[in-house]
Structure 1
Amino acid sequence: MSFPGSIAFDEYGRPFIILRDQENQKRITGTDAIKSHILAARQIAGTIKTSLGPKGLDKMMVSGDGDVTVTNDGATIMKLMEVDHEIAKLMVQLSQSQDDEIGDGTTGVVVMAGALLEQAESLIDRGIHPIRIADGFELAAQCAAKKLDEIGEDFPIDQSNTEPLVRVAMTTLGSKIVNKCHRQMAEIAVNAVLSVADLEKKDVNFELIKIETKVGGKMEDSMLVKGVVIDKTMSHHQMPKELRDVKLAILTCPFEPPKPKTKNKLDITSAEDYKALREYEQQKFADMVSQVKNAGATLAICQWGFDDEANHLLLQHNLPAVRWVGGPEIEQIAIATGGRIVPRFEELNPEKLGKAGLVRELSFGTSKDKMLVIEECHNSKAVTILLRGGNQMITAEAKRSIHDALCVVRSLVRDSRVVYGGGAAEISCSIAVAKEADQLSTLEQYAFRAFSVALESIPLALAENSGLHPIETLSELKSRQVTENNAFLGVDCMLTGNSDMKEHHVVESLHSKKQQILLATQLVKMILKIDDVRSQGESME
């Protein structure tokens, strides 16, 4: 381990540290430190701003190993960016927090934080203390959240009519790579969430939704399976490819003879000894297969592999089997089929078997790729989304996109209020915060007005990314929202000639939008309170 200095001793033998490169150490304090932080955060926000909205651009990220990722998902971009500055790392954590909490709005929250810091810098230049700015921003955020509650509308969550939910999921997927079939993807996301949701408790267990990807085919070949899909096949090619009314033995013990757990060794010195060992192994294999059969199992799912002899015995005894099934898949199968995971053959009994109506092999076109589908399970709530795509990059981005849609639908199940997108909610909040600023007589009115301007960064970015004139578009929308008293007017990113987002069904979760504003404000408040930093040379700049 390297040490940034050397140890010396004084005349009494007491050690003290002499730091290397003392002359290169730089310490920034006060306003200079805050401006340094703001500069770093603005650079991150400026990088990601072009990815906002349905016309936003993708980013190509190349890892140190040469792995290429193409995405416009804010959280993924931020996670893959190699940032050294401490404040830039806070921006990455901000995006990650939004992704963990809501799953959507990961780009917008970073753009919002960057805009707030930009406005804070101009206020600092005017001589306003950072603490007053931070307190003003917090009050303004509460004012914006209150306005969101006013303009929010209740949203119907009805399993018999999923169309409104599908429209919300389509809004989320509109900016993603899957937008060529985004209605199909939106329906898959909605049906998956509603399959596992408890509408009475307003809760969604994401553990019951599994996303599998398989390279090949078209994206339109993606499907929702009411059960479990595993990337395995039957262990022997002569085993049946379709089974009905299946009882599954879910095993974490291998089909192999027991090994002595000591360091003793067995010496075989004659043909009779070898024959005896061979018969012992065969008998053990036969006993294992009979134990599974006697329990009533018609399919064995094994976490470990087994050799050709065991495989042949299983085929002889008409016991289909699947081997090398991973731990998470084993757990998913156990949840779906209502079975118990069995660690030893001796513990297997009929009560521990899982039940499924249909187990079948899926084959993909002319390729040899096959997957196993377990459907009509005992616990019908477990579902799997199978995504197809031309290459690994497409399927990986489709997986990120469908995750965002799942998270948004989950947010609506938990809190069914919505606002309208295209920057309409931000413009409405901006007008409300600016109006509130006129009622204040304290210094915080400047922070309120700055917050109002920062809220406009979202519609400005949407307009800019759509090829519209940002200032003209924003000015017109603000004027129309006030004169027409219509909080649903937003940026017409798709150039349809109509700015009413309610008519376009561009819907966003109110909880998601509120979380964006509050999280961004909390981070900005934290940054404005850091006024001391030490750096090595000029690395902070």
Structure 2
Amino acid sequence: MASLPGSIAFDEYGRPFIIIRDQERQKRLTGIDALKSHIMAAQQIANTIRTSLGPKGLDKMLVSPDGEVTVTNDGATILKQMDVEHQIGKLLVQLSQSQDDEIGDGTTGVVVLAGALLEQASALLDQGIHPIRIADGYELACQKAVERLDKIAEMFPVSAEDPEPLIKVAMTTLGSKIINKCHRQMAEIAVKAVLSVANFETRDVNFELIKVEGKVGGRLEDTMLVKGVVIDKTMSHPQMPKELRNVKLAILTCPFEPPKPKTKHKLDVTSVEDYKDLRKYEQEKFIEMVDLVKKAGATLAICQWGFDDEANHLLLQKQLPAVRWVGGPEIELIAIATGGRIVPRFEELSPDKLGTAGLVREISFGTTKDRMLVIEECSNSRAVTILVRGGNAMIVEEAKRSLHDALCIVRSLVQEPRVVYGGGAAEIACSLAVAQHAHELASLEQYAFRAFAEALESTPLALAENSGLSAIHALAEIKAKQSASGDSALGIDCMQTGNPNMREQHVIESLRSKRQQLILATQLVKMILKIDDVRSPADGRNM
């Protein structure tokens, strides 16, 4: 009897199954070959988005399989929409996403730094240094760099009374985006939005209260901040009033339609009388529903579901304005803003469950007369909406992404009001500190320290390259000036103003963002350096 190409095992129920040996169909990378493969994949990803760094960085055009075009220079968006197959490439995508989720800014810089660290690690591996010693050295160097960041960080005034410093930080974030032609206005909108919902006692910002809504048409300059909620809906009937004052809102998740019998039996209408009875029953139910809403004292019904023309006309006759097909997240935001309760059944509606708003109005845009509904002067007036305008959908989406970065960086400053200076100034200061400490080490980790210091210089180098400067000369000059003067605000003059002092140029970055970039990049590189065995299917596409 021929033996099976595998072995028999049993599951928890005692049923046998065969484990097929598939070693001959596996492709395997081990040792230095695996590490080199990882480093090469990471470098390709980092080099792809390196040119997007800084105020003069280039944009990327991404085309989805169904032909949808995205133009952006936001690192997280570029990586998310790239079709990355290599597993290490996917780790870098997750790294960028982690930075985006935690901080919101620095998504390009963190990947560029990780790529540079791995590039330096490759040279150390060629010298015969064990990857574990490199990883440990990187971790120690990261601690030293973070210590240096904490020393050079400056306290930052954050208050609702004087938003100007926060606006300058938001302008730094938006300076590298596609919307930089009106980045002062966008920065002001972002700061006002965050200050409206910020709690300075707990040092927290509830992002759930800030909604960013986009509407194609108009110019970017038409973008505005609404102290309330904007929804892309209109009144359900064109003859309903377009403006309501001192509104009581009934927020409903039950439809304006007769209840359907929960049975498998079907209803046969065989005569005119049966049809009239059914229609009369439906009308009575409609009237009962509308009366229940009116009885609770509501002057506007906001419904998650639709309703037919008959119910719509009845609402008009009973003088009860209504809005239909309002989505779940929008319903929740309206409930938070107006202080109302979401009601699942008409019978449960009562005056204490109604939301209140000072003004509900329809606004229309341009020649197309596109209309949206604005709910203002809410009882919980902290809820705000940013209404982004733009010439096409691509511009609107990129503006929304840019505003998200600005909102996140202002939130970071509310949570921790300390800043460092941009233009690569903080990275150069950390690089000098790490390189200095390398001279004091007698162990093998000194090589990793020097490599980490060189990797930190990748950010100012990329900024200089993307600004059309002679990268090596610009970096050497600034390093010499920082080393001689000890001024950690000296960075790459990307805008070529003739003044490399980032403090005077107001190029400011959040300490929290910069610290997170260093820690996340180092952790990922340390993880990659410890992977020395990779198996994949026989076709070896990813290897």
The answer as to 2:369 corresponding to 1:393 is: no
Please state how far the C-alpha of 1:83 moved relative to its aligned partner.
Answer: 1.1
Q: Could you tell which deviates more after superposition, 421-430 or 275-284?
A: 275-284
Equivalent-residue separation in structure 2 for 1:367 and 1:123 (angstroms): 62
* 3-state SS of 1:357 partner: strand
Q: Could you tell which deviates more after superposition, 248-257 or 526-535?
A: 526-535
Compared with structure 1, are the counterparts of its residues 87 and 297 closer, same or farther at alpha carbon in structure 2 (3 Å cutoff)? same
* 3-state SS of 1:422 partner: coil
Q: Which residue of 1 aligns with 2:190?
A: 189
Q: Which residue of 2 aligns with 1:421?
A: 422
Compared with structure 1, are the counterparts of its residues 253 and 219 closer, same or farther at alpha carbon in structure 2 (3 Å cutoff)? same
- Counterpart of 1:534 in structure 2: which amino acid? R
Q: Which residue of 2 aligns with 1:179?
A: 180
The answer as to 2:122 corresponding to 1:127 is: no
Equivalent-residue separation in structure 2 for 1:427 and 1:401 (angstroms): 26
Compared with structure 1, are the counterparts of its residues 145 and 258 closer, same or farther at alpha carbon in structure 2 (3 Å cutoff)? same
Q: Which residue of 2 aligns with 1:506?
A: 507
Compared with structure 1, are the counterparts of its residues 14 and 80 closer, same or farther at alpha carbon in structure 2 (3 Å cutoff)? closer
Equivalent-residue separation in structure 2 for 1:110 and 1:444 (angstroms): 23
Compared with structure 1, are the counterparts of its residues 283 and 49 closer, same or farther at alpha carbon in structure 2 (3 Å cutoff)? same
Q: Which residue of 2 aligns with 1:237?
A: 238
* 3-state SS of 1:181 partner: helix
- Point out 4+ residue stretches in structure 1 off by more than 6 angstroms: 9-14
Q: Which residue of 2 aligns with 1:81?
A: 82
Q: Which residue of 1 aligns with 2:137?
A: 136
Q: Which residue of 1 aligns with 2:411?
A: 410
Whether the 8 Å CA contact 1:254–1:303 is kept in 2: the answer is yes
Whether the 8 Å CA contact 1:36–1:540 is kept in 2: the answer is no
* 3-state SS of 1:453 partner: helix
Q: Which residue of 2 aligns with 1:334?
A: 335
Deviations 1:150-198 (A, max 9, x none): 1100001110100000000000000111111101110111111111110
Please state how far the C-alpha of 1:18 moved relative to its aligned partner.
Answer: 4.5
Equivalent-residue separation in structure 2 for 1:15 and 1:166 (angstroms): 65
For 1:38-53, list aligned pairs within 5 A. 38-53=39-54
Q: Which residue of 1 aligns with 2:478?
A: 477
Equivalent-residue separation in structure 2 for 1:433 and 1:159 (angstroms): 38
Please state how far the C-alpha of 1:266 moved relative to its aligned partner.
Answer: 2.4
Q: Percent identity?
A: 74
Whether the 8 Å CA contact 2:8–2:18 is kept in 1: the answer is no
Compared with structure 1, are the counterparts of its residues 7 and 505 closer, same or farther at alpha carbon in structure 2 (3 Å cutoff)? farther
Please state how far the C-alpha of 1:283 moved relative to its aligned partner.
Answer: 1.3
* 3-state SS of 2:179 partner: helix
* 3-state SS of 1:263 partner: coil
Whether the 8 Å CA contact 1:243–1:360 is kept in 2: the answer is yes
Structure 1's unaligned 5+ residue stretches are 1-5
Compared with structure 1, are the counterparts of its residues 540 and 331 closer, same or farther at alpha carbon in structure 2 (3 Å cutoff)? closer
Whether the 8 Å CA contact 1:7–1:16 is kept in 2: the answer is no
Equivalent-residue separation in structure 1 for 2:472 and 2:167 (angstroms): 32
Q: Which residue of 1 aligns with 2:20?
A: 17
Equivalent-residue separation in structure 2 for 1:449 and 1:219 (angstroms): 46
Whether the 8 Å CA contact 1:52–1:108 is kept in 2: the answer is yes
Please state how far the C-alpha of 1:236 moved relative to its aligned partner.
Answer: 0.6
Whether the 8 Å CA contact 1:253–1:302 is kept in 2: the answer is yes
* 3-state SS of 1:168 partner: helix
Please state how far the C-alpha of 1:8 moved relative to its aligned partner.
Answer: 4.4
Equivalent-residue separation in structure 2 for 1:34 and 1:387 (angstroms): 45
Q: Could you tell which deviates more after superposition, 514-523 or 258-267?
A: 258-267
- Counterpart of 1:155 in structure 2: which amino acid? F
- Counterpart of 1:347 in structure 2: which amino acid? E
Q: Could you tell which deviates more after superposition, 310-319 or 353-362?
A: 310-319
Please state how far the C-alpha of 1:537 moved relative to its aligned partner.
Answer: 5.2
Q: Which residue of 2 aligns with 1:92?
A: 93
Equivalent-residue separation in structure 2 for 1:16 and 1:310 (angstroms): 63
For 1:60-75, list aligned pairs within 5 A. 60-75=61-76
- Counterpart of 2:419 in structure 1: which amino acid? V
The answer as to 2:60 corresponding to 1:59 is: yes
Equivalent-residue separation in structure 2 for 1:79 and 1:235 (angstroms): 38
Please state how far the C-alpha of 1:9 moved relative to its aligned partner.
Answer: 7.0
Deviations 1:329-355 (A, max 9, x none): 111100000001111111111000000
Whether the 8 Å CA contact 2:254–2:305 is kept in 1: the answer is yes
Q: Which residue of 1 aligns with 2:346?
A: 345
Q: Which residue of 2 aligns with 1:444?
A: 445
Equivalent-residue separation in structure 1 for 2:63 and 2:392 (angstroms): 16
Compared with structure 1, are the counterparts of its residues 134 and 386 closer, same or farther at alpha carbon in structure 2 (3 Å cutoff)? same
Structure 2's unaligned 5+ residue stretches are 10-15
Please state how far the C-alpha of 1:10 moved relative to its aligned partner.
Answer: 8.1
Equivalent-residue separation in structure 2 for 1:404 and 1:338 (angstroms): 29
Equivalent-residue separation in structure 2 for 1:55 and 1:337 (angstroms): 43
Compared with structure 1, are the counterparts of its residues 9 and 86 closer, same or farther at alpha carbon in structure 2 (3 Å cutoff)? closer
- Counterpart of 2:112 in structure 1: which amino acid? V
Please state how far the C-alpha of 1:298 moved relative to its aligned partner.
Answer: 0.5
- Counterpart of 1:292 in structure 2: which amino acid? V
Compared with structure 1, are the counterparts of its residues 9 and 136 closer, same or farther at alpha carbon in structure 2 (3 Å cutoff)? closer
* 3-state SS of 1:190 partner: helix
Equivalent-residue separation in structure 2 for 1:112 and 1:450 (angstroms): 12
Equivalent-residue separation in structure 2 for 1:349 and 1:456 (angstroms): 64
What is the TM-score when the length of structure 2 is the normalising length? 0.96
Whether the 8 Å CA contact 1:115–1:454 is kept in 2: the answer is yes
Whether the 8 Å CA contact 1:250–1:302 is kept in 2: the answer is yes
What is the TM-score when the length of structure 1 is the normalising length? 0.96
Equivalent-residue separation in structure 2 for 1:87 and 1:507 (angstroms): 32
Equivalent-residue separation in structure 2 for 1:326 and 1:518 (angstroms): 39
Let me know the Cα RMSD of the aligned residues. 1.7
- Counterpart of 1:96 in structure 2: which amino acid? Q
The answer as to 2:382 corresponding to 1:381 is: yes
Equivalent-residue separation in structure 2 for 1:434 and 1:118 (angstroms): 17
Whether the 8 Å CA contact 2:56–2:176 is kept in 1: the answer is yes
Deviations 1:109-142 (A, max 9, x none): 0000000011111111111111111111100000
Q: Which residue of 2 aligns with 1:3?
A: none
Whether the 8 Å CA contact 1:7–1:18 is kept in 2: the answer is no
